[in-house]
Every structure is written in C-alpha cells, then in structure tokens.
Structure 1
C-alpha cells in the first residue's frame, strides 16, 4: 500500500466485497500464506486460538462467519494509512466499532488483525 489514496480505495473495495458477502472478492486481496487473527475466529474455531493461517483456512473461517451472521454489514468510519499497512475503522452490523489492521507485502495483505473496542472499561 503506497499512499493514503490507495488505502481509501482499498477500503472501498474491501467494504463493498464484505457487504456483497463475496468471500472470494475479499480473499483476492490476501496472500496465500496470510496470517489473520480475530477474537471471532477464536469463538468459531477454538482450536486456532484465534489465529487463522493460510488463505484456504481464512476462506473457511469467513464462510462460516457469514453463514452464522446473516445480518453482517460494515460501514467504514475512517481509514488510516501507514507504511505498508492500513487500518480500517468500521462499524459492524451490531453497531460495534472494529479496527481491521492489515499489513501488506506489495499489493496483497500478508497479515491481518481484527480488533474490537472493549466495552468493559
């Protein structure tokens, strides 16, 4: 990811793919050997400890998530561009604030982390 404009455009494609429930379109932005962490992954696939390794495992995780969350919808609140990274701050279908932290290797995401706003103070 080379600049803020790229980050904004990436976030537009990312949220459009998610809101279309198009896992293949979301995965098109990820390396085959991606590592992705998420508290939701830990709930859906406890054996992962919340860390999903590889594009096919990520496909399985996201497909299961979409199956279990028929109301899934994201609204981007802000996009932050870093050096080789992007943070997408969005609100999910439950109104929760979430940050997706994405680290790039070239034009593809090598590492991602879904992080949730703590509500317990």
Structure 2
C-alpha cells in the first residue's frame, strides 16, 4: 500500500470513529473479517478477544461506543507494509494505541487487531463500568 493511500484510509477511519459512525468504520472491512482486541476480551470475555465477521465486530464496537460516549481519536502516524496498514493514534484518555490491519486484494480489511501499551486495555480506553 502506498503511503498516500494509507494516510487517506486513516483519515476516513478516524473521521468515522470521531463521528461514532459504525457503518463508516465498517465500510473498510470485509464481511468475514476477523478482529482481535484485549478490550474485547475484557468487555466480552466469551469472545476471548477474537471477533469473527463484520457483525460480531459491529456488536463489539457498538458496546464500546455505548460505554465510551466521549470516544475520540487523533492519528499520530500511519505505517504501511505489504497489504498492511498500522494506524498509530491517541485515544480520548491520552493513551497510545495501534490498529494493525491486513488488507485483502480488494482493499478491505480481512484481519486486524488493536494493540495497547497498558495491561488493562479497557481501563486505558476509558471504558465506563457497566
């Protein structure tokens, strides 16, 4: 992926997240995409942190948006690889996070994961108790 394309992808991604537009974020994902997250493991322990399919990802992110009403991201930088993009960002609590996204031939995310600098990723993400 070219860096200009990766930056465009990241701009669309952050705009959708900051608007709390799940459809906008998920428009970049294949229907059978897989996403892993330590926050998902904490919020939805039955998943083991692995979400399979766009609808499972949507359900997880909907819970996240409900529990983090002030969620907002700021892109720090964007990195590219072969069919890979890493979006390094700061969340609304000031925490640094990376989304590592593997793209299929059609440019849609087929797998990805969130990575955190803290052991308690949910608290670091500002998740409010249920």
TM-score range, shorter chain: over 0.9
1:95 equivalent in structure 2 = 94
Q: Cα offset for 1:118?
A: 3.3
Across the aligned residues of Structure 1 and Structure 2, the Cα RMSD in angstroms comes to 1.2
For structure 1, which runs of at least 5 residues remain unmatched after alignment?
none
Measured against aligned partners, the alpha-carbon deviations of 1:27-64 in whole angstroms (never above 9, x if no partner) come to 00000111100011011110010010000000100011
For structure 2, which runs of at least 5 residues remain unmatched after alignment?
121-130
What CA distance in whole angstroms lies between the structure 1 residues aligned with 2:18 and 2:84? 22
1:6 paired with 2:28, answer: no
Extract structure 1 runs of 4+ deviating beyond 3 A: none
Q: Cα offset for 1:4?
A: 0.8
1:38 equivalent in structure 2 = 37
What CA distance in whole angstroms lies between the structure 2 residues aligned with 1:84 and 1:5? 14
Measured against aligned partners, the alpha-carbon deviations of 1:74-120 in whole angstroms (never above 9, x if no partner) come to 00000001110000000001100000000000210000110001379
1:114 paired with 2:123, answer: no
